[in-house]
């Protein structure tokens, strides 16, 4: 049967990690290096490789990536309402 998230990590249409990383990068007004955002996004996604419910994984990844990058780069992401 295979691991759905691992399969989806390799299928850009099913699980758009690049798009998610770009959203996170834009959340920081592009102040954080995009390659680092991609790296953090993929590392966090791999933690969910055995998840059985994937619906909220992008939301969790985005939240945790913003927290991690905020600490690493001493910056805050912009508000969703902005």
Using DSSP's 3-state secondary structure scheme, residue 67 falls into helix
pLDDT for residue 1: 36
CA 65 to CA 21: how far, in whole Å?
9
pLDDT for residue 78: 63
Going residue by residue through the chain (82 aa), what tens digit of pLDDT does each one get? Answer: 334 454 555 544 446 899 999 999 999 999 999 999 999 999 999 998 888 888 889 999 999 999 999 988 887 666 553 4
pLDDT for residue 22: 95
Geometric angle at alpha carbon 65, from 60 and 68, rounded to 5°: 125
pLDDT for residue 41: 95
65: left (phi over 0), alpha (psi -120 to 50) or beta: alpha
7: left (phi over 0), alpha (psi -120 to 50) or beta: alpha
């Amino acid at each position: 049967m295979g691991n759905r998230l691992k399969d989806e990590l390799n299928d850009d249409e099913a699980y758009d990690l690049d798009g998610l990383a770009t959203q996170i990068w834009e959340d920081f007004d592009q102040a954080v290096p995009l390659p680092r955002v991609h790296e953090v996004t993929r590392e966090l996604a791999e933690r969910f490789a055995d998840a059985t419910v994937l619906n909220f994984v992008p939301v969790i990844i985005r939240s945790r990536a913003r927290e991690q990058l905020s600490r690493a780069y001493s910056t805050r992401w912009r508000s969703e309402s902005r």
